[in-house]
Amino acid sequence: MVEQQERDAVKVFQLIDWTNIEELVSEQHGEKLEVRWTKAFVSHMESPHDGGVCEYVFDHELCGIESESVRILLEEGKLASVTCIEIPFNKVLEGNRIAIFPELHVYIPISMIEKSLTGDIIDVREMMGERRGYNDRLVSNENNFFNHKL
């Protein structure tokens, strides 16, 4: 288990600017959509499911979505395998309010997410902000995060 001071020194959360992906998805869907749930990307992290290595996106409470390999049948009759993360998109309502529940889930290839990284890499204090240590669930989320190999 990584100690508190060591945790605070680990800068592993790569910030994501979803703007370009939001515009593409909104255009295809025909309504303005926004990514509300995820904030940062972590690559090459141990999976809690099988011990393999994969990529994740996380929110400010360290809830994460794991990448998966998706097989797609192309029109040419060939199978393609793409590593993606399923991202929820929320509808933007009147007055720039955001719908509570996602309108659409889209598999976004890791390569597109990597192109959307801002270049800023932050630590767990910056990632969680005021939510850090707020309740037992968030403390558990942080402990679970640091129990996996980065």
**Which pLDDT band holds residue 49 (cuts at 50, 70, 90)?**
confident
Q: Three-class SS of residue 68?
A: strand
**Which pLDDT band holds residue 79 (cuts at 50, 70, 90)?**
very high
Q: What angle do CA 41, 34, 83 make, to 5 degrees?
A: 40
For range 117-127, the mean pLDDT: 95
The C-alpha atoms of residue 133 and residue 8 are separated, in whole angstroms, by: 13
10, 68 contact by CB (below 8 A): no
Spell 77-110 as b/e; 16+ CB within 10 A means b.
eeeeeeebbebbbbbbeeeeeeeeebbeebebeb
Quote the pLDDT of residue 7. Answer: 79
- Whole-model pTM: value is 0.88
Q: Inform me whether the pLDDT recorded for 14 exceeds 90.
A: yes
